């Protein structure tokens, strides 16, 4: 099993390098992320991150060929919240404080939030309708921070639904799926709000916005789950 795991990782690295010219450091960071998720969660979550990354790259290549390839800063911005949640959950579990599964949920939701935001951004650019700033609904140019469209929000919903279908197939609970769906969409909305307020002022860059949005989405998912249950 361990040999197969490393073989898959090697193939992923070759694929990333040939497809988009990813450097060794970025590939190594992806490996470290997947290894941590495998250790703290399970192989299904690892597969989900791989699927998320592949689809995100695919839709970016198809819809936005001029987009620069993602680097280690993008990986940190989109995925570090997931790692933080599983580590905090592990520590809290050892201290018998809160259920570890809540942090697993938060970790996966944070990845889904990044997934949903990627879909929202790339699909939203196809909209023929002028984007509106999420804070005051004034018209803004396409691609500006904080701009939203109905098509973009629909993209976030599609991404969240893809995540729900995946985790339904691998046997996660109905409550988990509901929170996962809501959390992904909320993450995309929070990302737009941070972009419209903090990022537009130059306080945050895109990677910092992604981290904060995914972390907030994960934290909110814990609260939503507790309220539902």
In degrees and rounded to multiples of 5, residue 154 shows phi and psi of -60, -40
What are the contacts of 157-165 at 24+ separation with CB within 8 A? 157/116, 157/185, 158/119, 158/123, 159/112, 159/115, 159/116, 159/118, 159/119, 159/120, 159/184, 160/112, 160/115, 160/116, 160/184, 160/185, 162/55, 162/115, 163/48, 163/52, 163/108, 163/112, 163/115, 163/116
Q: Where are the domains of the chain?
A: 2-228
Cα(42)–Cα(76) distance, rounded to whole angstroms?
20
Express each pLDDT in 10-55 by its tens digit: 666 666 666 656 667 777 777 778 778 877 888 888 888 888 877 8
Express each pLDDT in 64-123 by its tens digit: 655 566 677 888 888 899 999 999 999 998 888 888 899 999 999 999 999 999 889 888
Express each pLDDT in 52-67 by its tens digit: 877 877 777 776 655 5
Residue 128: CB atoms within 10 A of its CB come to 6
pLDDT, residue 36, reads 81
Global pTM value:
0.87
Cα(208)–Cα(184) distance, rounded to whole angstroms?
18
* Strand ranges, E, within 92-225: 132-133, 147-148
């Amino acid at each position: 099993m361990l040999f197969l795991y490393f073989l898959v990782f090697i193939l992923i690295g070759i694929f990333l390098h040939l497809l988009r010219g990813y450097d060794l450091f970025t590939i190594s960071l992806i490996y470290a992320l997947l290894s941590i998720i495998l250790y703290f969660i399970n192989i299904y979550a690892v597969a989900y991150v791989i699927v998320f990354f592949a689809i995100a790259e695919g839709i970016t290549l198809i819809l936005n060929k001029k987009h620069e390839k993602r680097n280690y800063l993008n990986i940190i911005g989109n995925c570090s919240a997931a790692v933080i949640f599983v580590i905090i959950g592990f520590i809290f579990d050892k201290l018998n404080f809160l259920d570890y599964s809540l942090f697993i949920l938060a970790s996966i939701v944070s990845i889904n939030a990044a997934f949903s935001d990627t879909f929202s951004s790339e699909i939203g650019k196809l909209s023929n309708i002028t984007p509106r700033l999420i804070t005051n609904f004034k018209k803004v140019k396409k691609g500006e921070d904080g701009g939203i469209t109905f098509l973009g929000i629909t993209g976030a919903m599609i991404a969240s639904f893809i995540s729900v279908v995946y985790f339904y197939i691998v046997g996660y609970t109905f409550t988990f799926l509901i929170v996962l769906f809501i959390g992904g969409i909320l993450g995309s909305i929070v990302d737009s709000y941070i972009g419209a307020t903090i990022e537009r002022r130059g306080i945050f860059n895109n990677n910092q916005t992604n981290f904060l949005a995914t972390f907030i989405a994960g934290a909110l998912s814990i609260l939503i789950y507790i309220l539902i249950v």
